Amino acid sequence: MLMNNYLRADVGFVRGYGATLWDEYGKDYIDFASGIGVCALGHSHKGVAKIISKQSKTLLHTSNLYNITPQSKLADKISNLLGGEYELFFANSGAEANECAIKLARKFGYKQGKKSEIISLANSFHGRTIATLAMTGQDKFHPDDFAPYPNGFKFYNSIDEIIENLNENTAAVIIELVQGEGGINPLDKAKVQELAKILNQKNILLITDEVQCGVYRTGEFITAKLYEIEPDIITFAKGLGNGVPIGACASKKPIFAPGDHGSTFGGGFLVTSVAEYVLNELENLKNSGKLDKKISKFEKKLDKLVKENSDIFEKRVGLGLMQGIVVKDSNLLNTIILKALECGVLVLRSGSNTLRFLPPLNLDKKEMKEGFSRLKLAISKAKK
């Protein structure tokens, strides 16, 4: 028997291809969710399947006590995409990547005068471990059931408030440049640049959590490039592995020493081989101009949807293929998501009133058209 910790929709999928899923009864669904931003190349991608098959026949695990060649290659690949000399640590999830960032920040801060405080933003989400929950800037993720939470974390409502509350004990500030669970809310570029400048002057680390918004989701490998900043630490997961569990933490500064951190499964042969392939495919998609065209087309379809339903929708928000529509009535949002499922299209919620879209980055024209057709039908049914 499973633990009672998920509110699951009454559907189960048995196969998928591209942006289409099929349930056990043969009904098909257009997937505008990608497993919450995970399947960047869609389902059952032939190249990914080939890499998984090939690596599984060679070697799956030896542990990090020994050299793992595909892990080193992936580290070099990510460092090159970041445009600098970054050190990489590989884990199994976004929460683990952020745990690594916490330890990096604490060790760095300790050497700077035993600084330990890490500041985040309201409406942020950084994971479900006890430490990453404490770092998450939403009170609903801090129920008394799981108390006490670790000390040393604070969150503020705005970047201005963060700047005002920097102090001699601040080791790092962590931000999501687009808040994935907080309403698909892109931060203000000028404010982010001001924060980055001040943190650099004060020798405080800037961490960008790109678990959801990274790996080309917003149009560039890292959203930080759109904001024209260079974070000290960057965390990744989700789209990096196209479904195989992987997280990564990149640091500009050499902070860790042997024994400071580790993972039994992190950075194994299978996941790093797949992730390198995924990055090569996504890099080609970006460099060919196809990704930008898909983003433009998807945004235009969303804008049209908002315009045609201005009675229930407020505006479109987001960047790249990390998009949302703000719904005026949060109760109606739940109905739209349920009706969308009935009509065969998967969409998500973000925050209290945002309809969230995270389609595969290689979404084809036919699936995009069909998905929006089904979504329009769902919206019309939700209005009744």
pLDDT of residue 69: 98
Contact criterion met (CB below 8 Å) for 148 and 141: no
Rounded-to-integer distance, Cα 337 and Cα 315, Å: 17
Domain membership flag for residue 363: no
Are residue 95 and residue 230 in the same domain, yes or no? yes
pLDDT < 70 positions in the chain: none
Where a domain ends, among 268, 287, 306? 287
Residue 217 and residue 234 in one domain: yes
**pTM of the full predicted structure?**
0.96
What dihedral do alpha carbons 124, 128, 132, 135 form, nearest 10°? Answer: 40
Are 123 and 76 members of one domain?
yes
62 within domain boundaries: yes
Structural domain for 136, as ranges: 48-287
What CATH number is given to the structural domain containing 202? Answer: 3.40.640.10
Judge whether 38 lies within some domain. no
The reply to whether omega before 148 is within 30° of 0 (cis) is: yes
In a domain, 25, yes or no: no
Q: Is residue 189 part of a domain?
A: yes
- Give the per-residue pLDDT at 297: 98
pLDDT score recorded for residue 85: 86
pLDDT for 365 equals 96
Q: Given this model, what pLDDT does residue 384 score?
A: 79
Same domain, 212 and 324: no
Q: Does residue 280 share a domain with residue 167? A: yes
Q: Are residues 259 and 301 in the same domain?
A: no
**Residues 6 or more apart in contact with residue 278 via CB below 8 angstroms:** 40, 41, 48, 215, 239, 240, 241, 242
332, 202: one domain: no
> Where is the domain boundary, 270, 287, 304?
287
Through-space distance between the first and last CA atoms of the chain, rounded to whole angstroms: 38
Contacts of 48 (CB under 8 A, 6+ apart): 41, 242, 243, 274, 277, 278
**Both 207 and 322 in a single domain?**
no
d(C-alpha 345, C-alpha 28), whole Å: 9
- 242 contacts 48 by C-beta, under 8 angstroms: yes
**CA-to-CA distance for 156 and 377, rounded, in angstroms?**
40
Distance of alpha carbon 288 from alpha carbon 362, whole angstroms: 12
200 and 331 co-located in one domain: no
Instruction: Calculate ∠ Cα 366-295-348, nearest 5°.
Output: 80
Strand order in the sheet with 28-31: 13-17, 20-23, 28-31, 345-346
Rounded Cα–Cα distance for residues 54 and 343 (Å): 38
Residue 368: inside a domain, yes or no? no
- Say if residue 256 is in the same domain as residue 305: no
Which residue, 255, 287, 319, sits at the end of a domain?
287
Nearest 5°: phi and psi at 155?
-135, 150
Pairing of strands 233-236, 205-209: parallel
316 shares a domain with 200: no
**Strand ranges inside 54-198, DSSP E:** 87-91, 117-121, 153-156, 170-175, 178-179, 185-186
In a domain, 2, yes or no: no
Quick check: is 348 in a domain?
yes
Token pair, residue 20, equals 């289409």
The CA distance from 256 to 102, in Å, is 12
- For residue 315, give both structure tokens: 């505006």
My answer on whether 268 and 151 are in the same domain is: yes
Q: What is the pLDDT of residues 118-168, one digit of tens each?
A: 999 999 999 999 999 999 999 999 999 999 999 999 999 999 999 999 999
How many folded domains does the chain comprise?
A: 2
Helix (H/G/I), strand (E/B), else coil: 269? helix
